[in-house]
Amino acid sequence: MAGRLTRITEQRQEKLARIRERGINPYPSRYQRSHTAHEAASRLEEGEETGSTRQPEVSVAGRIMAIRRMGRSAFADIRDSSGKIQLLFLNINQLDEQRGELFKNLDIGDILGVKGTLLRTKSGEPTVQVSDFELLAKSMRPLPEKWHGLSDVDTRYRQRYLDLIGNPQVIETFKARSRIITGIRQFLDQRGFIEVETPVLQPSAGGALARPFVTHHHTLERDFYLRIAPELHLKRLIVGGLDKVYELGRIFRNEGISTRHNPEFTMMESYEAYADYNDVMCMLEEMVSKVCQEVLGTTRVTFGDHKMEMKAPWTRLSLREAVEKFSGIDFVKYPTADGLRARMRPKMKELGLKVDAGKNWPKLVDELISTFVEPNLIQPTFLTDYPVSMSPLAKNKPGEERVVERFEAFAGGMEIANAFSELNDPEEQRRRFQEQQKERPTDGEVTETIDEDYLLALEYGMPPTGGLGVGIDRLVMLLTNNPSIREVILFPQLRDKP
């Protein structure tokens, strides 16, 4: 295989040399397109609908995906980001010497600009009859043999450019991702939220229970954490009087890699003063429903073998009710880690799983959710009212000592959002942080640290606030019917090749 690739590359080097010998620049600075491939095809259709007999002239450009010689003529397919269009070269043997030599030295993968008139062939294919063409970039390596459907998963992720060239549906996925993000921004902007930016390098790892990445700033001679959440900085802005804020950006967590987890991922977090988690629930289901309608043209979503209706209202279940329903365990009756672990063992054993001896009580409850509850939540569902030990930043539910106003949203068997009525009592927040430090897992994992400046901000007074975090990558997975997070992140993290 390596020898064959070497021979093809050498042949293309020779072709490149011949092109240059003719005084042709194989890598010009620019090319003036009049239309994309899709626009050109649409223009042809518009002319046909109006009964026009005039053949429109266009200039298009794209990568050569096929070349077919047919006697004195030749057909080629070029593709740009909008799609594919066919080219027709008539009487190639009668091309002038310069263009004839250039045509002979073209390869699949080269990027070509062409001018010509639009027509439709007998087979009904929109086509540009070429009057002039220009090489815009010579491809020195051949596309994968199966460029028309590159299927090697490792190659697809490591060399995403080949994936985009070979699999047009991948381009559509990332176009949809862009439209989803735009739809979320427009929804929030229309509701009076303002988009802000908060630090990625943070002196404290706060806002979530997660292991951070640590980096060092040489001039300041101190370590910083890549943010595991923008939450604490966004709530500082609520203290400062910005009543509705949101941020869309990258989050970094030094944890596992799976079909649903990537060490860096995209999160949208919003905070609204004078709102609670009930208000946020209504906002989330309305936002997702509206984005679905705008991007997909429907609120009915297909994800794998499942059909989901994303239109509001979504199902609401208390966490305690859901865990007992799907696992048979009422975790409230087992208030210690050892007691809950002992109750979980037989249930986990039935699934061929073990209970981690180093996990504390909150992490054991979280394991119950992920193992027994989450896979069963296919239709969009809110799990509400979490134990306080799992939610140190959330406000207690009135009259409930151990329960906070928190929800997680699930769809397609995975979590897509998390939200609180935000705790704004500075003394209670400090006590929670301190309790959390005592209850750190015994596996040595470094997690959230106490942010003293955030506690200071709370002492100036933060109004009642509803906060929301939405996992953009997982939402895109749902709305584009992709089972792996790597399919919706252009450049996912991968292990080194063996």
Q: What is the pLDDT of residues 340-375, one digit of tens each?
A: 999 999 999 999 999 999 899 999 999 999 999 999
Reply yes or no on whether the pLDDT at 94 is more than 90. Answer: no
What pLDDT is stored for residue 54 in this prediction?
77
Please name the amino acid found at residue 214: V
Report which of 287, 245, 249 is spatially closest to residue 267, judged by C-alpha positions: 249
Find all residues with CB under 8 Å of 149, minimum gap 6, and list them.
166, 167
Average pLDDT over residues 437-451: 63
Its sign, for the CA torsion 283, 288, 294, 295, is: positive
Neighbours of 442 (CB within 10 A): 12
What pLDDT is stored for residue 98 in this prediction?
87
What pLDDT is stored for residue 337 in this prediction?
93
Give the separation between CA 467 and CA 462, rounded to whole angstroms. Answer: 13
Reply yes or no on whether the pLDDT at 120 is more than 60. Answer: yes
Give the separation between CA 152 and CA 157, rounded to whole angstroms. Answer: 9
403-422 confidence digits (pLDDT tens): 999 999 999 999 999 999 99
138-189 confidence digits (pLDDT tens): 999 998 865 455 667 888 899 999 999 988 999 999 999 999 999 999 999 9
Report which of 121, 45, 36 is spatially closest to residue 84, judged by C-alpha positions: 36
pTM to 2 decimal places:
0.92
What pLDDT is stored for residue 441 in this prediction?
54
Give the separation between CA 90 and CA 416, rounded to whole angstroms. Answer: 55
Exposure of 478 in the CB half-sphere (CA atoms within 13 A): 30
Strand pairing category for 306-309 and 300-303: antiparallel
378-409 confidence digits (pLDDT tens): 999 999 999 999 998 999 999 998 999 999 99
Q: What's the angle, vertex CA 231, arms to CA 292 and CA 244, rounded to 5?
A: 65
What pLDDT is stored for residue 303 in this prediction?
96
Reply yes or no on whether the pLDDT at 446 is more than 60. Answer: no
Give the separation between CA 106 and CA 112, rounded to whole angstroms. Answer: 9
Give the separation between CA 283 and CA 289, rounded to whole angstroms. Answer: 10
Give the separation between CA 336 and CA 405, rounded to whole angstroms. Answer: 22
Q: Which two tokens stand for residue 404?
A: 């906070």
Give the separation between CA 304 and CA 481, rounded to whole angstroms. Answer: 6
**Residue 1: pLDDT band with limits 50, 70, 90:** low
Report which of 280, 202, 321, 254 is spatially closest to residue 468, judged by C-alpha positions: 280
Using a pLDDT cut of 90, give the percent of the chain over it: 81
Average pLDDT over residues 453-470: 97
Q: How far is CA 450 from the centre of its chain?
A: 30
What pLDDT is stored for residue 147 in this prediction?
47
Q: Which ranges constitute the DSSP H helices of 372-440? A: 426-438
Its sign, for the CA torsion 397, 398, 400, 402, is: positive
Report the run of H or E that residue 298 belongs to, with start and end. Answer: none
Please name the amino acid found at residue 104: K
Q: Which two tokens stand for residue 418?
A: 């998390």
Average pLDDT over residues 51-74: 90
Between residues 148 and 297, the one the model is more confident about: 297
Report the run of H or E that residue 292 belongs to, with start and end. Answer: helix 277-296
What pLDDT is stored for residue 488 in this prediction?
97
Report which of 396, 461, 398, 421 is spatially closest to residue 276, judged by C-alpha positions: 421
Give the separation between CA 387 and CA 365, rounded to whole angstroms. Answer: 9
Q: Mean pLDDT across the chain, nearest whole number? A: 92
